[in-house]
């Protein structure tokens, strides 16, 4: 692709510094899960459960 390997390594390091990816030796780099999204999903699920219970009763 014509991109210097050092540039790619710097980009990966910057993504790690910003907590976007996590690198596991021998396995590769992976997009990191955003814990804030998980908390929002749990809150949304709880709200929906309450609504369903109120409608079902």
Convert the pLDDT of each residue in 3-30 to its tens digit.
899 999 999 999 999 888 889 899 999 9
Chain mean pLDDT for the chain: 83
DSSP 33: P
In the predicted structure, residue 40 carries a pLDDT above the cut 70: no
Give the whole-angstrom CA distance, residue 17 versus residue 44: 30
The backbone region for 19, taken as left when phi is positive above 0, alpha when psi lies in -120 to 50, beta otherwise, is left
């Amino acid at each position: 692709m014509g991109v210097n390997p050092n540039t790619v390594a710097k980009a990966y390091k910057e993504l790690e510094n910003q907590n976007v990816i996590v690198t596991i030796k021998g396995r590769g780099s992976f997009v990191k899960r955003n814990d804030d999204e998980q908390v929002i999903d749990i809150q949304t699920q709880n709200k929906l459960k309450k609504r369903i219970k109120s409608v079902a009763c």
